[in-house]
Amino acid sequence: MLNDQDNMFTKAMMTGLFVGIFDTVICLVYNIGYRDFTGYLPSSLVNVSSLIFAVNLLLLLTGMLYFLFRKVFGGRDNFYIVMGVLFTTFLAWKTETGHRFADATVNAESKGLLLGIVLILGVSAILLPFFYRSKFFDKYIL
């Protein structure tokens, strides 16, 4: 029994880590494209270093959290998905209502950059159970 739980934990953690690495690339491309398109320059919160470390760490922790949801609720992923949608919605709402800069244009651009990253991470966290259960993902990637 312990071996099965170890395998479940490792699989959930590695799935989260792989999705995190993939999301890091997506977030970096989004960051570069958004900054080129809008001309947004401040990089105190969202920069290459913070994206590389934070995205990987967040999705690794999300994989561990998914393991806990599987352990508590069994194989039913509905509760995890609903909680992920609610949490992503909450973070998107808080991002939109936040105010970081006095200049309205820079503030709006900051919200757009952060909102895009929140949505990328939220969608990936919500899709984590689908990757976890995928036989193709298990066979060829993990």
Q: Tens digits of per-residue pLDDT, 10-67?
A: 999 999 999 999 999 999 999 999 999 999 888 888 899 999 999 999 999 999 999 9
Average pLDDT over residues 83-109: 93
Q: Quick one: tokens of 57?
A: 């760490």
Residue 124 has pLDDT above 60, yes or no: yes
Mean pLDDT, all residues of the chain: 92
Full domain range(s) for residue 51: 2-140
Confidence of residue 2 (pLDDT cuts 50, 70, 90): low
pTM score, whole prediction: 0.91
In a 13 Å sphere around the CA of 131, the CA atoms on its Cβ side amount to: 24
Rounded (to 5) percent helix, strand, coil in the chain: 85, 0, 15
Residue 126 has pLDDT above 60, yes or no: yes
Confidence of residue 4 (pLDDT cuts 50, 70, 90): confident
Domain count, the chain: 1
